[in-house]
Chains A and B, each alone.
Chain A
Amino acid sequence: MAKIKGAIVVDIEKCKGCEVCVISCPTHVISMTKDVNGKGYHYAYMENPDSCTGCTNCAIVCPDGVISVYKIKVDA
């Protein structure tokens, strides 16, 4: 059985920490860092990377277009 694994890359310096991606992720992958970026925003990161399915929901709702999504099909 094939399984989908995903991952996201956040453009940290452009993230404004709005958290819209956090609630849009169906598998609760994303959280905000305790650190801040150069503009003083907490930024999005994968807290639970194993749960990412690469569905792109976070990326398409991101108002600043800072999320890139990668996806791979792995055989079980």
Chain B
Amino acid sequence: MQDTLTTKDIIKPENLVYSKTKLLTDTPLSYCPGCGHGTANRLVMEVIDEMGIQSQTIGIAPVGCSVLAYNFMNIDMIQAAHGRAPAVATAVKRVFPDKYVFTYQGDGDLAAIGTSETIHACNRGENITIVFINNGIYGMTGGQMAPTTLPNMKASTCPYGRDVEIMGHPLKITELVAQLPGTYYVTRQAVHTPAAVRKAKKAIRKAIENQKLKKGLSFVEIVSNCNSGWKMTPNDSNKWMEENMFPEYPMGDIKVPSEI
């Protein structure tokens, strides 16, 4: 029988096992081809879809490549000033304590201009979720050095590579916020392979479900590629990321709530 089974026979609604969540709009994503932002956007929406909490979720978009996330995420969304998403999210959660609130921020937004808001929201233990995309570069403005740019890594504002003597060191803000008593769950993930995506999705789900517990902030870093900024093909950039970013930003949970 299988010899006669055509592709047309398989592609029927009853056989559908995966398609884009309805919580992503039909607007084409503005991200570059192969950019992990698209996958991360989708995972957040898949989790909210699967949890059935569209009507109870408010998302905060940053300034950076994901500034237009509100065009793609089919939920109520707020676009925040550069770096201030954790402050905005703090207020949203405080005035709507039973809603699910997340910020979606890049490394420049979260770990440079918004360091203060990030650390204080974490330290206050706001019951929100922060999704932090770390690609070691300012993507939207055209590939400038970020707080997370690796030593010797080239960017348009460090064209000869990041000289740590002059430009300082990469900021491991995720390890930093894990030290704060207000964070409940801190993890570092990636979205460049199917296995990584499955893990990252579980982490995002946990980070959003944690809001019900009201035990503090859940923080999910996603180390991602910026193939345009790094000037590589998408697959080469993912390989480069594994070889160079992962040693500096190791995958896995950094702070896991202890079972009582």
Question: Touching in the complex, A and B, CB below 8 A?
Answer: yes
Which chain A residues have a beta carbon within 8 Å of chain B's beta carbons?
3, 5-7, 9, 14, 16-20, 22-24, 41, 46, 49, 54-57, 59-72, 74-76
Is B10 in contact with A20, judged by CB distance below 8 angstroms? no
**Contact between chains at A9 and B39 (CB < 8 Å):** no
Q: Which of B72-97 contact A (CB under 8 A)?
A: none
Q: How far is the CA of A62 from the CA of B138 in the complex (A)?
A: 22
Q: A16-B34, A17-B33, A23-B235 are in contact. Are A68 and B19 (CB under 8 A)?
A: yes
The interface residues of chain B lying within 8 Å CB-to-CB of A41 are 33
Q: Which residues of A contact B188 (CB under 8 A)?
A: none
Contact with A24, one of B21, B35, B193 (Cβ below 8 angstroms):
B193
Find the A residue at minimum CB distance from B40: A63
Contact present for B18 and A68 (CB under 8 Å): yes
Chain B residues closer than 8 Å to A20, beta-carbon distance: 34, 192, 234-235, 238
Provide a sorted-by-A list of 19 A–B residue pairs whose CB atoms are within 8 angstroms: A5-B5, A6-B10, A6-B17, A14-B28, A16-B34, A19-B233, A24-B194, A54-B10, A59-B18, A60-B194, A63-B31, A63-B34, A63-B35, A63-B37, A64-B38, A65-B21, A65-B29, A68-B19, A72-B9
Q: CA separation between A9 and B24, bound complex, in Å?
A: 18
B175 to A: closest C-beta gap in Å? 27
| B42–A65 CB distance below 8 A | yes
- Residues of A within 8 Å of B15, CB to CB, are 70-72
Measured CA separation A52–B206 after assembly (Å): 31
The 4 closest A-B pairs by CB, nearest first: A18-B34, A63-B38, A16-B33, A65-B20
CB <8 Å contact, A5 and B10: yes
* Cross-chain contact B1 with A75 (CB below 8 angstroms): yes
In the assembled complex, the Cα of A33 lies from the Cα of B24 at a distance in Å of 26
User: Known: A5-B5, A61-B197. Contact between A70 and B11, CB under 8 A?
Assistant: yes
Check if B16 is an interface residue, CB within 8 A of chain A.
Answer: yes
